[in-house]
Amino acid sequence: MSEDRSTKKVVRLMQRVTVAGPGGSETVRAKIDTGADRTTVDRGLAARLNLPPTGAKVTIKASAAGRMVERPLVDADVTLAGKTFKLKVGVADRSQMRYSVIIGRDILRSGDFLIDPARKRKKA
């Protein structure tokens, strides 16, 4: 039996998301990355929103670094296409990157999204 696609939200590869924590919330540009296990936010964004550290760290293979790196985890609320996820996200210096947030499979795994790589950004 196939799933009803009409209940899924279609998202682009580059999408606006809202990240929230005790220090407030910000809507920023994010990249949908089906190859990333975990959602990651920029260190500066985590600091501005006062995202609470969990005390835990995660070791990942960073594609940009080409090696294993350790990243701290923080608690955050991430809203993608109208659905909010409360989860532990990795923190990395993304200040030189185009996108402040990487949306990983921890969010995409919910099954509520279809990724359309051809979908264009809505014009204002």
Residue 1 has pLDDT above 70, yes or no: no
In a domain, 1, yes or no: no
- Beta strand 40-42 with 14-21 is unpaired
CA atoms within 13 A on the CB side of 78: 29
In a domain, 40, yes or no: yes
- pLDDT, one tens digit per residue, over 18-45 is 999 999 999 999 999 999 999 999 999 9
Sign of the torsion angle spanned by Cα atoms 4, 123, 103, 53: negative
In a domain, 2, yes or no: no
- The total of other beta-carbon atoms located within 10 Å of residue 43's CB is 17
Residue 79 has pLDDT above 60, yes or no: yes
Q: What is the CATH number of the domain that holds 80?
A: 2.40.70.10
Range of the domain at 69: 9-115
In a domain, 121, yes or no: no
In a domain, 122, yes or no: no
pLDDT category of residue 124 using cuts at 50, 70 and 90: very low
Q: 55 to each of 58, 71, 73, 75, 88, how far by Cα in Å? A: 10, 11, 7, 10, 11
Whole-number Å distance between alpha carbons of 124 and 119: 15
In a domain, 26, yes or no: yes
Specify the number of domains making up the chain.
1
